[in-house]
Amino acid sequence: MIPIRDTISTRNYPVVNNTLIGINVVVFLLQMMQGAELDRFIYIYGLVPARYSVEQIAAYFTPGQQLFSLLSFMFLHGGFVHLIGNMWFLYIFGDNIEDRLGHLRYIGFYLLCGLASGVSHLLLNLNSNIPTIGASGAIAGVMGAYFILHPRSKILTLIPIIIIPWLLEIPAFFFIGFWFVLQFINAAASHGDVGGIAWWA
């Protein structure tokens, strides 16, 4: 199911939401410029649980680098499809949350959700040496907020059935509930790691 738009209009321009999307795109372009150094780039700026739990690995990183990774990992992505999927959901749902919370509270909420997802992943995979990247945790927080604040909204959704695309208005509570179920299924199937991408939110 691909969301096309929701039925909730916004009163204010979503400057923070659009800026977040822009930052994610710019960081992805920086990733693509790394060439042979991409793996090292991901390891430094991604969230690697073993960097915090294994003393021999932690010794290679400064406290500043360790703290910064808790923020930077959520702006990295595992590929073009990963980026587009996350940014599209942020575009559809994030503007309404920013409209309700205000610009400053929204950026704080977004970053805290991303941080919470990273810390929870870290605690569940303490000795993992696989870099965890992606905005999925922060966006899950945005989706959860939308579920609470706009449960009666409708989501115009593209449902491709074989070769015939169907457009249906689906209640937000059903669409988002289904989305969360898929996230947990993916997380359970992958045991937390999918090619270095965090599924746990």
In the chain, what are the domain boundaries? 7-151
Q: How confident is the model at residue 186 (pLDDT cuts 50, 70, 90)?
A: low
Lowest mean pLDDT among 43-57, 73-87, 92-106, 181-195: 181-195
Q: Is 90 exceeded by the pLDDT of residue 163?
A: no
Q: How confident is the model at residue 178 (pLDDT cuts 50, 70, 90)?
A: confident
CA triple 193-56-35, angle to 5 deg: 55
pLDDT tens per residue across span 31-55 = 999 999 999 999 999 999 999 999 9
CATH label, 7-151, candidates 3.30.565.10, 3.90.1150.10, 1.10.8.100, 1.20.1540.10: 1.20.1540.10
Strand 197-198 to 193-194 pairing? antiparallel
C-alpha–C-alpha distance, residues 109 and 111, integer Å: 6
Q: Is the dihedral of CA 5, 11, 17, 18 positive or negative?
A: positive
Structure tokens at 112: 């805290």
- Residue 189's pLDDT is 59
Output DSSP code: residue 151.
T
> How many other C-beta atoms can be found within 10 angstroms of the C-beta atom of residue 64?
8
